[in-house]
């Protein structure tokens, strides 16, 4: 995985987690992913991106991700949506705000049906 792909992965995960406020389980999940990917610098970058202005962080991340992800294959876009869905499900539920954020991204990336299929499972 390239450094850019690690940034995309961790920013996506972090911005969705921060959408309602980062809880302890989500912090652990971010740390675990960071260690697995050996991506300490990429996580630092993602957190600084969010902390720059938390109120606008989702929309800024959405624009950033849309610019990069448009070049990704459909399969890779679906994998990213699946990853963020599964990460949010670790706590046993997905908030309405998180679901709305994921729907908006899935629609942007033209993988909305893949997200619907995940929800229905």
Q: What is the DSSP string of the chain?
A: --HHHHHHHHHHHHHHHHTS---HHHHHHHHHHHHHHT-HHHHHHHHHHHHH-GGGHHHHHHHHHHHHHTTS-HHHHHHHHHHHHHHHHTTT---HHHHHHHHHHHHHTT-HHHHHHHHH-
**Residue 118 pLDDT class (50, 70, 90 cuts):** confident
Average pLDDT over residues 53-75: 94
**Residue 110 pLDDT class (50, 70, 90 cuts):** very high
Report the share of the chain in percent with pLDDT over 90: 69
Q: Where are the domains of the chain?
A: 3-120
**Residue 19 pLDDT class (50, 70, 90 cuts):** confident
Higher pLDDT, 98 or 31: 31
Q: Is the pLDDT of residue 20 over 80?
A: no
């Amino acid at each position: 995985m390239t450094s850019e792909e690690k940034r995309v992965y961790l920013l996506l995960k972090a911005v969705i987690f921060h959408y309602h406020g980062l809880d302890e389980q989500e912090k652990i999940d971010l740390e675990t992913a960071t260690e697995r990917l050996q991506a300490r610098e990429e996580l630092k970058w993602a957190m600084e991106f969010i902390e720059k202005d938390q109120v606008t962080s989702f929309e800024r991340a959405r624009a950033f991700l849309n610019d990069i992800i448009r070049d990704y294959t459909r399969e890779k876009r679906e994998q990213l949506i699946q990853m963020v869905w599964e990460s949010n499900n670790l706590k046993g539920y997905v908030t309405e705000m998180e679901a709305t954020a994921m729907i908006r991204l899935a629609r942007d990336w033209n993988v909305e049906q893949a997200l619907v299929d995940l929800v229905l499972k």
